[in-house]
Structure 1
Amino acid sequence: MPTADNHGVSLHYEIDGGDGRDGEAETVALVPDACYGAWQWAWQYDALAGPFEVVTYEARGTGRSDEADSYRIEEQAADLEAVLADAGVRKAHVVGAGTGGMVALQYALDYSRARSLSLLGTSPGGP
């Protein structure tokens, strides 16, 4: 499992799929809910990794990724940017669940790699 670095926070991720498309497969980035790892997406990953290139990662403080001093949504969006940049992804369909949906929404607002956005059981944030 490769790692990306976001200002000293090491993030473990996986990238797979896109079989038979000669490097032309579209990428789907799966953003996990709080305290969940890449395993949260096991069923979706198996269905998507073939026709699509799929990126999953262990969010800060989860699994083999480093713990951090802060878990602000903006910092977690920067984590996703670090993962996609390290993986060489130019554009991705970003899918987030729960807190990961808040991260995905912030990511789409702050960065230019999001091709589309799908939010599952999430909130736009706020008090």
Structure 2
Amino acid sequence: MHYEVHGRTDPAAPVVLLSSGLGGVAHYWTPQLPALARTFRVITYDQRGTGRSSDSLPQDYAIADMAAEAAALLDELAVETCHFIGHALGGLIGLRLALDRPALIDRLVVVNAWAKTHPHTLRCFAARKSLLLNTGPAAYVAAQPLFLYPAWWMADRTGWLAEQDAAGLAHFPPAHTVLRRIGAIEAFDIEATVPAIAAPTLVIATRDDVLVPSTCSVRLAERLPQGRLELLDHGGHACNITDPAGFDALVGAFLRVE
């Protein structure tokens, strides 16, 4: 997988691994790099089948496979423990990794994530799959911001959104890759094992997320032995992009950034 390392280079520097949502690409975290890079060695990566990690995915591809790939990357870089920050699907990867390789995770941050995929989220993905299969990638890409950002935030950013649409369409992966990644999300269910996650976990959620009900994060935080919930009124699904300063402050305090 393609990866990048930012920030501190000294061997003693604490490590943060950033894992993106369904889009899967490293540059999703660009707004967070300046704040994190001052304190940490920051690793970003394109998940398998996305961006510069283009690859075919097996038919039964699962979140557990994505967690194993993240663990393999950390092993390759000789990282014995790290903080993990994951958005949506990336948060699911972090939760699975905390179960499968608990020694790798010092502190965990999950953003608009969940323990079991909610029926509302399944309905949203059914609509997105229909767009992809029946209308094509252009319609799928054009609809994507509706699930990520609040309307008030998008209203003044039509030029930026057009640039994002063009870039997303130019680098769009094969449809079967997108469908298999969505299938992994749809099948995700760790309800029974959430209490086994020992890592201190910050659960960040927004009430105006149209893709994932905030109640999913509330339930997740309640069942985590060391879970802490930050429930925001505004910000949408991609709250780290719509309010980077507020997001960075929450994460910095949790990771004890000086």
- Residue by residue, what CA displacement relative to the aligned partner does 1:40-64 show, whole Å, maximum 9, x if unpaired? 1001122211310001110111011
**Shift >4 Å, 4+ stretches:** none
1:26 matches 2:14: yes
Kindly indicate which of the two structures has a greater share of residues assigned to helix: 2
Structure 2 gaps, min length 5: 117-188, 192-258
CA contact (8 A) 2:8 2:39 kept: yes
CA contact (8 A) 2:16 2:83 kept: yes
**What is the identity percentage for the equivalent residue pairs of Structure 1 and Structure 2?**
36
User: Residue 4 of structure 2 aligns with which residue?
Assistant: 14
What is the RMSD of the two structures over their aligned residues, measured on CA atoms?
A: 1.6
User: Residue 47 of structure 1 aligns with which residue?
Assistant: 35
Name the CA distance, whole Å, in 2 between partners of 1:43 and 1:106.
25
Name the CA distance, whole Å, in 2 between partners of 1:15 and 1:118.
19
Name the CA distance, whole Å, in 1 between partners of 2:40 and 2:83.
10
Q: Which moved more, 1:32-41 or 1:65-74?
A: 65-74
User: Residue 122 of structure 1 aligns with which residue?
Assistant: 113
User: Residue 66 of structure 2 aligns with which residue?
Assistant: 76
Greater RCO between the two (CA within 8 Å, min separation 6)?
1
Kindly indicate which of the two structures has a greater share of residues assigned to strand: 1
CA contact (8 A) 1:98 1:120 kept: yes
- Residue by residue, what CA displacement relative to the aligned partner does 1:101-126 show, whole Å, maximum 9, x if unpaired? 01100001101211111110111132
User: Residue 91 of structure 2 aligns with which residue?
Assistant: 101
TM-score when normalising by structure 1: 0.83
- Residue 67 (structure 1) shift: 3.0
Number of residues of Structure 1 aligned to a counterpart in Structure 2: 115
User: Which among 56, 64, 81 is matched to residue 52 of structure 2?
Assistant: 64
- Residue 38 (structure 1) shift: 0.3
Amino acid aligned to 1:110: D
CA contact (8 A) 2:6 2:33 kept: no
Name the CA distance, whole Å, in 1 between partners of 2:32 and 2:38.
11
Relative to structure 1, the CA distance from residue 123 to residue 90 in structure 2 (aligned partners, 3 Å threshold; closer, same or farther) is same
Name the CA distance, whole Å, in 1 between partners of 2:78 and 2:7.
14
